[in-house]
Every structure is written in structure tokens, then in C-alpha cells.
């Protein structure tokens, strides 16, 4: 065999070997629920990125059960996956997840929701967005549109989730600067469209005068907008968080006033990049923050075009 064919054969062998190494990288992913719209986009973007990188992903639905999620993580560990990615069911109940992964020496990445404990051990990384920023952006837009005066209601996410607490704190920090704005209702819609719709309908039936509804996510905001339309109530501002395709369509149609874009692609790619690097014993930033961006009627078309890419 001549030198050139030998070199070519060696190159092919090395390429196949490197591809095999990537394909052998296995990552377990536990999500709190497969039914949530935003988390569906997060999961889809993870799958797309994993396919590009030759990574094998195993998704599991915890069905909003803390014990089930712990069992899933422990199952991943027994399968000797290279890394685990978790979107926690309860951000206050992550200690056992961390201890299990750390004891096994398996890298753990929390995506989208950050554990309440601010001190995480080596080998545990978070890839999230600053929920206080989301609250600030939405509330400031609403306050400006109200001219600093009016009665507002707040739709809360699940009370066990720190995203609910921090986004709401962000709302109140901004609204507190305006003595003319009064919070007249504040209830949990559990992140769900139908709950947001029911709560808003109940407020209207009770005769509540509401000038704006601030929501911890888009699904509840869309529900609120549907209830307002059904009741023939016009001029009420409705805000959300996530920037889902449904929310972008609602803003374009004038049903919603504003949303705050939570970058599902950025979070998904950031989580996979961190998991892959840690699995390969490479250094990684422990707390990765993906920025939020304001979506208004003026720029909604830009976000719709971006999501189609």
C-alpha cells in the first residue's frame, strides 16, 4: 500500500473513532412535566442541539412529583450516564438530587430553574435566566403604559417555584415606585392557561376594576386575555413571560400587550454545552445566565422570525 492511501485510511479511522466517542456520550434529562408549553420548546431545542453534537439524550417526565424526579436521577446514575440535566419540580427540594449525583461523581446541570440553595458544590452547574429581570421588564412596561396610575392584578405561577417568587418580587419592586398603582388581586394560576382564564373571569364577575394583569408566564396571560375578550372588556393591559409562539401571536393580534422573551434555545444549548464539557472534564462556568428581552407590538415580528429559524 502506498503512503497516501495509508494516510487516508488512518484519517478515516480517526474520524470514525472521534464520532464514536461523541455518540457514546449519554445524558439523562428529567423534566417536571412534558405538558408545559415553554418546557416543550426547551426539550425540542435540547434534542436539536444533541443531534447536532452526536449526543444521546434520555428524557423523563417527573409529572410534577419530587420523589419521581429523584428516582429518575438515581436511575440515570445506575445507568452510568455521562451527565444529568434537571429542570427541578421543586426548587426547594433539590438537595437529594445534588447529593446523589455528587456521590456518584456525575456532572449535574440545573436548567431553567435554579435551586434555592445558593451554594452549589463542584460538579453542579446552573443555566438559567434572571427572573427578577423578567419581572422588572414586564412591570416597567405596564407602569409606563398606565402612566403610573391604575389597579393591577397578578397571576402567580406555582408557589413552590422560585421563579414565581422572584418574578413577582420584580413586579412589586417596580410597581412600588408608583404610589398611583394599586395591586387589587394576587392569586396562583399554576402556570396554566385555563387557570388564568378562570381567575380573571372570577375577578370580573366579582366586579373588580382592573386596568392591567401581570402574569408570571405567557400561558396564564393568554388565559387572562381570553377571559377579558369573552367578557367584552377592552383596554386592559396583559403581560406575560416566555415569548412562546402563542404569546407572540396574541401580542400581534392585540390580545396581549407585552411579554418577556425567555430564550429556550439559549438555555437548552447552554445546558448541553455545560454537561458535555463537564463530562469531558473541561472547566465550565458554574452559573450561566441567559438574558431576557422585552417583546412589544413594535418588535414582535422580529421574534416571530427568529423562532422560525
Question: Structural domains in the chain?
Answer: 3-129+263-290 (3.40.50.2300), 131-261 (3.40.50.2300)
For residue range 16-46, what is the model confidence (pLDDT) as tens digits?
444 434 457 999 999 999 999 899 999 999 9
- Quote the percentage of the chain above a pLDDT of 90: 89
Indicate the SS3 state at residue 166: helix
pLDDT at 18: 42
Residue 242, beta-bridge partner list: 261
| Dist CA 97 CA 100 (whole Å) | 5
pLDDT at 117: 87
Mean pLDDT rounded to a whole number for the chain? 92
For residue range 262-305, what is the model confidence (pLDDT) as tens digits?
999 999 999 999 999 999 999 999 999 999 999 999 999 999 99
SS3 content of the chain, % helix, strand, coil (to 5): 50, 20, 30
Nearest to 212 by CA among 149, 170, 158, 254: 149
**Is pLDDT above 80 for 240?**
yes
| Dist CA 98 CA 222 (whole Å) | 35
Categorize the per-residue pLDDT at 260 as very low, low, confident or very high, splitting at 50, 70 and 90.
very high
This prediction has a pTM of 0.84
Tell the burial category of 176 from Cβ atoms under 10 Å away from its Cβ (0-12, 13-18, 19+): exposed
Amino acid at each position: 500500500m502506498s503512503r497516501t492511501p495509508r494516510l487516508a485510511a488512518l484519517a478515516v479511522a480517526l474520524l470514525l473513532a472521534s464520532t464514536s466517542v461523541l455518540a457514546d456520550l449519554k445524558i439523562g434529562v428529567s423534566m417536571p412535566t412534558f405538558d408545559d408549553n415553554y418546557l416543550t420548546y426547551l426539550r425540542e431545542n435540547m434534542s436539536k442541539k444533541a443531534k447536532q453534537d452526536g449526543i444521546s439524550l434520555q428524557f423523563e417526565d417527573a409529572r410534577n412529583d419530587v420523589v419521581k424526579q429523584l428516582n429518575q436521577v438515581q436511575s440515570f446514575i445506575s445507568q452510568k450516564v455521562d451527565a444529568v440535566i434537571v429542570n427541578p419540580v421543586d426548587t426547594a427540594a433539590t438537595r437529594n438530587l445534588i447529593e446523589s449525583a455528587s456521590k456518584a461523581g456525575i456532572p449535574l446541570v440545573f436548567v431553567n430553574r435554579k435551586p434555592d440553595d445558593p451554594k452549589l458544590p463542584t460538579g453542579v452547574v446552573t443555566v438559567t435566566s434572571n427572573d427578577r429581570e423578567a419581572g422588572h421588564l414586564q412591570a416597567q412596561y405596564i407602569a409606563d403604559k398606565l402612566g403610573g396610575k391604575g389597579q393591577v392584578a397578578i397571576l402567580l405561577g406555582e408557589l413552590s417555584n422560585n421563579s414565581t417568587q422572584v418574578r413577582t418580587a420584580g413586579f412589586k419592586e417596580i410597581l412600588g415606585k408608583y404610589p398611583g398603582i394599586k395591586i387589587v388581586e394576587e392569586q396562583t394560576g399554576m402556570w396554566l392557561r385555563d387557570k388564568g382564564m378562570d381567575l380573571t373571569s372570577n375577578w370580573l364577575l366579582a366586579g373588580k376594576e382592573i386596568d392591567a394583569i401581570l402574569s408570571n408566564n405567557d400561558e396564564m396571560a393568554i388565559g387572562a386575555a381570553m377571559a377579558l375578550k369573552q367578557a367584552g372588556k377592552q383596554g386592559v393591559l396583559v403581560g406575560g413571560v416566555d415569548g412562546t409562539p402563542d404569546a407572540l401571536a396574541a401580542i400581534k393580534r392585540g390580545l396581549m400587550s407585552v411579554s418577556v422573551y425567555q430564550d429556550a434555545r439559549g438555555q437548552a444549548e447552554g445546558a448541553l454545552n455545560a454537561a458535555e464539557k463537564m463530562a469531558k472534564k473541561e472547566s465550565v462556568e458554574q452559573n450561566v445566565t441567559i438574558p431576557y428581552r422585552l417583546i412589544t407590538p413594535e418588535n414582535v415580528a422580529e421574534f416571530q422570525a427568529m423562532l422560525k429559524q
